[in-house]
Amino acid sequence: MLDNRYVVTVTRTAPNQAELTIADHGQIIHRHTVRLMCDAIFGPDADSVQNWQQIAIKFIDCRASGRPTT
């Protein structure tokens, strides 16, 4: 949960790959393909989690300010 509003989820989609989604009030507003280091066999790598957080924060900050979200 980010800003008590956005739900950020990372779901495995293939070996070494996942999809990060950001939802606002239950509606997905962003999808981003992300990499899973070593297929995240024992859970996500700390660097990966930090990267995913940065992706989500950047998207939400750009959206809130009206800047392009790409």
Q: What is the pTM of this model?
A: 0.85
DSSP 16-58: TEEEEEEEETTEEEEEEEEE-GGGGTTS--HHHHHHHHHHHHH
Overall domain count for the chain: 1
Quote the domain boundaries for residue 54.
6-65
What digits encode the pLDDT tens for the residues 9-44? Answer: 999 999 989 999 999 999 999 999 998 877 777 778
Per-residue confidence band for 70, with pLDDT thresholds at 50, 70 and 90: low
Domain assignment present for residue 22? The answer is yes
Domain assignment present for residue 39? The answer is yes
Domain assignment present for residue 32? The answer is yes
What digits encode the pLDDT tens for the residues 51-63? Answer: 999 999 999 999 8
Domain assignment present for residue 43? The answer is yes
Per-residue confidence band for 4, with pLDDT thresholds at 50, 70 and 90: very high
Q: What are phi and psi of 67, to 5 degrees?
A: -80, 155
Domain assignment present for residue 55? The answer is yes
Domain assignment present for residue 70? The answer is no
Domain assignment present for residue 27? The answer is yes
